[in-house]
Structure 1
Amino acid sequence: MSLKKFLLSIFIIIIINIISSISCDRSTNLQENTLEDFVDEASGTGYDSQAYPSYWSMIDDSKDLIEQSTDDVLTLKSSDQVAVTTVSVHDFGAKGDGETDDTEAFVKAWKVACSSKNAAVLVVPQKIYWLKPIRFSGPCLSQLMVQIVGTLEASDDRSDFRQDGKHWLIFDSVRKLLLDGGGTINGNGKEWWQNSCKINKSKALAFYKCKDLIVKNLKIQDAQQIHLSFQKCMNVLASNLSITAPEKSPNTDGIHVTNTQDILITTSIISTGDDCISIVSGSEKVQAMNITCGPGHGISIGSLGSGKSEAYVSEVALYGAKLIGTTNGVRIKTWQGGSGSANNITFENIEMLDVTNPILIDQYYCDSKKPCKEQKSAVQVQNVLYKNIKGTSASDVAIKFDCSKNFPCQGIVLQDIKLEHGGGKTAKALCNNINFTSIGVVSPLCYQAKL
């Protein structure tokens, strides 16, 4: 079944379940989210179809089909044309009292839903479920929707994570999956923050080797470290997410993308203690739109090339973002000694408010207690467009390009940039080893570029 048909089937499932009232614990948020609402949300303004052809050409091609089918879908009953298996975690003993361990009930419910030959809906009603780490493994026999209306809360006992200290909830090798419902995923991460370890980053909600995936209308908060991770995934839509953690919580990235292709992140608010969005090696055709970020460390590509590794990131675009009080704005960071490239990158229509480093390329990134030795090799940064970026810098330096002597930054374009110092001073640009072009009014401007 194509992804086009999958989306249509999932929407049919949603509407059927609303009409038939299969579950008594439905959220009004899901009921109000009609088929047309989703199409309108997903096809917002500012999108460049050439930068992200595969997913969005599918949406455009199928829109007429979806609209034509809507009237017929509204008259369907589950016994007529579409067979739907509905599974509730309460069917398998979940209590939802916030104290009882409901892990086993979730595991059993997943196995039944995943093994259904019919399209399946796994329902998590509006209660609080206390959970140990769970791996939701695929592949599943049919398309699957997980409707999270309630709250999932992680165990605060770190010994529960001995078997897999890197994940709390992970969906592994699942295709044609929709997570929705307006519920909350609470990583209960205070214990992890007090014992933070950067090497072993734990993920609250992770997707590994998933394809044709939609994650939308969820609140993710207080993750152990990374809130939402996509690794080795393909064809992903992440939309209408609220991701929050205290400003000083360590390593609590909002959305982390690694080795993933064709992903769109849109209409989300991210407020954490680390990068709002981090994009690392192996990722291509990554698009983010309408993102609000802050506090946190901004939106980053990298770090890339640590430990003399080879890293590649390409076709990344951020269209429409507001960054408020973040440490960085839009940043590319690479380690010395690495190899590979970061290329074909666009940052456009961005507002900065009191951001310490609004525009930054750092090819001398060194997140180490010991000073990093200067090395000749570096990850090549090239073909980067900064367009229509305005706002205020919290520091004297609003634009900083600290590029490698041996691998200078190439093809950097600055167009219609206006960044002012929030304290009334004149903002500066520091630019080393960079080949750049300026278009329109650019302030501050690089006057000296050492090559």
Structure 2
Amino acid sequence: MEAPMTHSESQAFRAAWAAACKVEASMMIIPSNYIFLVGPISFSGPYCQPNIVFQLDGTIIAPTSSKVWGKGLLQWLEFTKLRGITIQGKGVIDGRGSVWWQDAPFDDPVDDEIELIVPLNSTVEKNLSAPVRSQLGRIMPSIKPTALRFYGSFNVTVTGITIQSSPQCHLKFDNCMGVLVHDLSVSSPGDSPNTDGIHLQNSKDILIHSSNLACGDDCVSIQTGCSNIYIHNVNCGPGHGISIGSLGKDSTKACVSNITVRDITMQNTMNGVRIKTWQGGSGSVQGVLFSNIQVSEVQIPIVIDQYYCDKRTCKNQTSAVALSGINYERIRGTYTVKPVHFACSDSLPCLDVTLTAIQLKPQQEKYHMYDPFCWQTFGELRTPTIPPIDCLQIGKPSNNGVQSDHDIC
């Protein structure tokens, strides 16, 4: 086996980026058949030249030494304030998240002080894939990093790569405009906590397609400030489905609009397509289409929850994020708990919810399943549904709540 290099690969990555940053349309190459151990790093603008390509064909792994992370960091690999940045290739970003998920003591299988580059298929590579065991009794910090984050960037492309075992979210876009993600693979166990596949926040004009997302939380999470999002031809599972929200926590204002999710397969997920908001929030979600969603053994395929609460109890509040123009069409397959759950606000009911060609059947007829549930949900049944969703209230409420001007997006 070739001996590992003892110089810092993080430093080498920084030097390569500094050189690439100076040249328009340059390429930074991470070669195949090698593993690179890289600590937390930021590839930053705003003074970089545009259209840099990060060619990832090898494997980048995260350190599992607590002293590398200190008290915890929000991200591991970060790209900030760039114009035209592409990450492409057939390589792997491996967050080695099991030491974070278990909150168990751990130690590196290699020396804490050494960041290394080794050939794939070596003895070290085999050791890296083995469970990490404690020798020194250290525990990972409570703040778990996102594996790959883009912030404040324009014209971002991520394609071909695999992101696996992230300590928390796998891929995040925050304050970005013009994003293309395709042929991406996300892979983490279904019981890995808070490991969203793709997390979108304050970002616009996003296209995600032709990808496989397996994780322990939402396959795609769409948060406040997102508009013009188009997601299609994605396989989701395991995971919690594709979600808008949660929105409006701690009485905040949330604005989401023009979201299309179509041609999706979901297998063994907690939810299918979901919108979740907290009581007490403001703003709106409007113009949403969920179309041609094939579900298999999904607990609840269609969910609106305006009483979302991740604590034991949450106080009832009258204000809410307003939901309108939510369209469901051709959602078919099997469920294991309940086909539809619409729990909308008393003060601001859900408006213009339309259902077309919904065909959902229990995974096993002999087990008792819950009937569709609707509360303060108004709209239209454009075709008969299986099962009948008779609880949807047709038309509009007679006394529709109206938000004040500062609540409207």
Distance (whole Å) between structure 1 residues aligned to residue 196 and residue 222 of structure 2: 11
Amino acid paired to 2:380: T
After superposition, the C-alpha distances for 1:240-279 in whole angstroms (9 at most, x for unaligned) are: 0000001111000000000000000100001111110000
Q: Secondary structure at the match of 2:339?
A: strand
Change (3 A) 1:319 1:364: same
1:177 aligns with 2:85: yes
Q: State the 1:428 CA deviation.
A: 2.2
Match of 1:366 in 2: 309
Q: State the 1:423 CA deviation.
A: 1.1
8 Å Cα contact 2:66-2:141 kept in structure 1: no
Amino acid paired to 1:375: Q
Change (3 A) 1:201 1:386: farther
Q: Please identify runs of 4+ aligned residues in structure 1 that moved more than 6 A.
A: 196-199
Match of 1:409 in 2: 350
Match of 2:202 in 1: 259
Distance (whole Å) between structure 2 residues aligned to residue 153 and residue 97 of structure 1: 14
Q: State the 1:97 CA deviation.
A: 4.6
1:383 aligns with 2:290: no
Q: State the 1:161 CA deviation.
A: 2.0
Equivalence map 1:44-83=2 (5 Å): none
Distance (whole Å) between structure 2 residues aligned to residue 352 and residue 241 of structure 1: 21
Distance (whole Å) between structure 2 residues aligned to residue 200 and residue 435 of structure 1: 41
After superposition, the C-alpha distances for 1:128-160 in whole angstroms (9 at most, x for unaligned) are: 000100000012123211100000000111321
Q: State the 1:177 CA deviation.
A: 1.0
Q: Secondary structure at the match of 2:19?
A: helix
Match of 1:142 in 2: 50
**Which of structures 1 and 2 has the larger relative contact order (alpha carbons within 8 angstroms, sep 6+)?**
2
Distance (whole Å) between structure 2 residues aligned to residue 340 and residue 272 of structure 1: 29
After superposition, the C-alpha distances for 1:324-379 in whole angstroms (9 at most, x for unaligned) are: 000000000000011111110000011000000100000000001x3001110111
Amino acid paired to 2:184: L
Q: Secondary structure at the match of 2:11?
A: helix
Match of 2:291 in 1: 348
Q: Secondary structure at the match of 1:191?
A: helix
1:421 aligns with 2:327: no
Q: Which structure dedicates a bigger proportion of its chain to helix?
A: 1
Q: State the 1:201 CA deviation.
A: 5.0
TM-score (structure 1 length as normaliser): 0.75
Distance (whole Å) between structure 2 residues aligned to residue 192 and residue 317 of structure 1: 34
Structure 2, gaps ≥5 residues long: 105-139, 398-409
Q: State the 1:287 CA deviation.
A: 0.9
Distance (whole Å) between structure 1 residues aligned to residue 193 and residue 96 of structure 2: 14
Identity %: 39
Amino acid paired to 1:122: M
Match of 1:123 in 2: 29
Distance (whole Å) between structure 2 residues aligned to residue 161 and residue 96 of structure 1: 26
Match of 1:36 in 2: none
8 Å Cα contact 1:96-1:102 kept in structure 2: no
Change (3 A) 1:287 1:350: same
Match of 2:224 in 1: 281
Moved more, 138-147 or 397-406: 138-147
8 Å Cα contact 2:372-2:391 kept in structure 1: no
Kindly report the root-mean-square deviation, in angstroms, between the aligned alpha carbons of the 2 structures: 2.0
Match of 2:182 in 1: 239
8 Å Cα contact 2:79-2:151 kept in structure 1: yes
Match of 1:399 among 322, 335, 340: 340
Match of 2:248 in 1: 305
Distance (whole Å) between structure 2 residues aligned to residue 98 and residue 258 of structure 1: 39
How many positions carry a matched residue from both structures? 354
Q: State the 1:199 CA deviation.
A: 8.7
Change (3 A) 1:356 1:99: farther
Change (3 A) 1:446 1:146: same
8 Å Cα contact 2:71-2:143 kept in structure 1: no
Structure 1, gaps ≥5 residues long: 1-94
Moved more, 261-270 or 188-197: 188-197
Match of 2:119 in 1: none
8 Å Cα contact 1:419-1:427 kept in structure 2: no
Distance (whole Å) between structure 1 residues aligned to residue 391 and residue 218 of structure 2: 30
Equivalence map 1:197-276=2 (5 Å): 200=143, 202-276=145-219
